[in-house]
Amino acid sequence: MSRAQAIAGVQAYFDDGRFMETLKRRVAIRTESQEAASLPILYDYLHQEITPYLVSLGFDCEVIDNPLPGGSPFLIAERIEEGAAFTLLTYGHGDVVRGYDNQWRAGLSPWEIVVEGERWYGRGIADNKAQHTINLAALEEVMKVRGGKLGYNVKLILEMGEETGSPGLNEVCRQYAQRLKADLFIASDGPRVNAPTPTMFLGSRGGCNFDLTCHLRDGGHHSGNWGGLLRNPGVRLANAIACLVDERGAIRVPALLPESLPNSVRKALANVKLGGGPTDPEIDADWGEPDLTPAERVFGWNTLEVLAFKTGNPEAPVNAIPGRATAHCQIRFVVGSDDAHFIEHIRAHLDEHGYDDVQVTLSGVQFSATRLDPDDEWVRWGLASLQESTGKTPTLLPNLGGSLPNDVFSETLGLPTLWVPHSYPACSQHAPNEHILASVSRESLQLMAGLFWDLAEQGRDVLARRPSPTENQ
């Protein structure tokens, strides 16, 4: 048995069409978690599609109801080996966003894989069905080549509500913390830094959504009769926003910024280049926090974005001063930020600058910022494995620019977290015409087989080199 055999096995799994057949079946299941009527389908994905497959690999499986009313189900699976040296926890999600069937271009359907050259189209194919399919197939091949013995336990939690903010995930992990106890977390979601480059990230930026509202009066008043006499809420709100973030997008409220940019993070991002893909927008070189590189702005710092702004009736404007203006805003933030008090800091800053007529309210699902130390032993091990499997230098991102529920695994369960994404930035995730690239999927099968193989061969030693939790306190 050998590492090369395992990698050759997953190459064959891709080349002979078995990977495609598995994906076709999974993409065809309309697991739209944003639709309440889809709840029985979400259960079907776990009971009929995933559970039988995992049982064939030796897993014990249980589908668990969401502890929150109306929430989507979870699957917890365990494969325990006698004498195992340690335990791996992995994760995926089988739900997808709405299909938006009528918005896909001619010849494409969200529920049927269509191949056009390198691109395989289908809803959820990038997020997250291909990603967890790749990981489970790679794990299966490694087990097969090793005669059914990994030398470590494997546990899996697969949720069906990630696209609605993972309601109940933290509660389930707290309730089943002992059952999910592990030494390492490896999973896949999100995009690589670019299509050709194997990527690893160690957490995610947090997300804080909030609304700004300036409600000065009910109804509008003729601009000819009252212009110059009445405060305009659109003008007031525009200036309030400019008080929070400047004309080049840099945050003006010190309390909304992280404590610092750690040297280990700056070093990890030193050679990361963003953009340049055929469908990527051109990066504005003069936008964002000054004195930071583009990679540092996205992965190492905080940003404040205005996602929507409305005053009056934009669809059919009239000659009237509106009575109300609203803006939906978002802070993406990294570890070291005072996110528990963001709303208080915004309120205090607006008051200090005379905008007491602007209300601030928290809105939407909030995600915490998480990041494993880039100098961690598991990180060095994982990067070396990816390089050996692909012959490429992988990119290390201290955290994803977006947000995902990594805090459940890193904080609630207390695990070191490694994410190895199998998509790419232009995959149209969440949009019509979502797709994966065949070349990225094939390479991802190889590198995951190598990673799971190396975990069997080297995991015990890596675990022994890491400081114990008490040493980190």
> Cβ atoms within 10 A of the Cβ of 49, count?
17
Indicate the pLDDT class of residue 469, thresholds 50, 70 and 90.
Answer: low
Indicate the pLDDT class of residue 367, thresholds 50, 70 and 90.
Answer: confident
CATH 3.30.70.360 residue ranges of the chain are 206-267+284-367
Q: Could you read off the pLDDT of 31-41 as tens digits, one per residue?
A: 999 999 999 99
pTM of the model: 0.90
Indicate the pLDDT class of residue 473, thresholds 50, 70 and 90.
Answer: very low
pLDDT score recorded for residue 323: 97
Nearest to 241, CA basis, from 344, 342, 360: 360
Q: Could you read off the pLDDT of 91-139 as tens digits, one per residue?
A: 999 999 999 999 999 999 999 999 999 999 999 999 999 999 999 999 9
Q: What's the rounded mean pLDDT across residues 304-329?
A: 97
Domain 3-204+369-472 listed as CATH 3.40.50.720: no
Indicate the pLDDT class of residue 472, thresholds 50, 70 and 90.
Answer: very low
CATH 3.40.630.10 residue ranges of the chain are 3-204+369-472
pLDDT score recorded for residue 277: 76
Q: What's the rounded mean pLDDT across residues 42-71?
A: 98
Q: Could you read off the pLDDT of 129-159 as tens digits, one per residue?
A: 999 999 999 999 999 999 999 999 999 999 9
Q: What's the rounded mean pLDDT across residues 315-333?
A: 97
Q: Could you read off the pLDDT of 279-295 as tens digits, one per residue?
A: 788 999 899 999 999 99
pLDDT over 90 at 467, yes or no = no
Which CATH architecture describes the domain 206-267+284-367? 2-Layer Sandwich (3.30)
Q: Could you read off the pLDDT of 404-434 as tens digits, one per residue?
A: 899 999 999 999 999 999 999 999 999 999 9
pLDDT score recorded for residue 281: 86
Q: What's the rounded mean pLDDT across residues 440-466?
A: 98
